[in-house]
Amino acid sequence: MSDELEIDIDDLKRRMDGAMGALRSEFGSLRTGRASASMLDPVMVDAYGAPTPINQVGTVNVPEPRMVTINVWDKSLVGKVEKAIRESGLGINPQLNGTIIMLPIPELNEERRRELTRVAAQYAEHARVAVRNLRRDGMDQLKKAKAAGMSEDEQKLWSDEIQELTDKYVALIDKALETKQAEIMQV
């Protein structure tokens, strides 16, 4: 029974790593006043009848700190890519130059920076909730194991290990949030 639970601990750890990866991805999509190719990751283009990520319809480059360029491969998609960026809520005004779309990144004002820190805090809270839900799953597995004959001492050890894992990941999320908020507020 213990060996089976150890595999479950590894699974919990893997799933908590997944929650951290999702958080990093969401943080990467937040605009901090500096150009980044990952800020376009959540933007989908209606290409050939299916929602498609921008990096699959063109080459995304960051030629300078305040500029992102997209070299769209298919001329017929240039308008759709431009429309998708305008409607994405990124607050960027695309400029067309043939099949190249230039995205000048404006300076962030103080109000927008504060708004972005609140968005980052929401992303972090979603990640914390995901980690806590995984903790609950682990505790449910323990209850089933206890019903199957696990000793109380062994259950306490596993419970402590699951709680330690949860605390570790919540601390990592808090640290990532603190770093991201400092990056956003940096002028």
Domain ranges of the chain: 2-28+109-185, 37-104
- In the three-class reduction of DSSP (H, G, I as helix; E, B as strand; rest coil), residue 41 is classed as coil
Cβ contact 124:23 at 8 Å: yes
Give the separation between CA 42 and CA 24, rounded to whole angstroms: 13
Cβ contact 57:77 at 8 Å: yes
CATH (residue range 2-28+109-185): 1.10.132.20
Residues 96-147 pLDDT 10s: 988 899 988 877 788 878 888 888 999 999 999 999 999 999 999 888 888 8
Residue 166 to residues 128, 134, 142, 143, Cα–Cα distance (Å) = 9, 8, 15, 18
Q: What is the pLDDT of residue 149?
A: 83
- Which of 3.40.50.1370, 3.30.300.30, 3.30.565.10, 3.30.1360.40 would CATH assign to domain 37-104? 3.30.1360.40
Is the pTM here over 0.75, yes or no? no
Residues 10-49 pLDDT 10s: 888 999 999 999 898 888 777 666 777 777 887 889 888 8
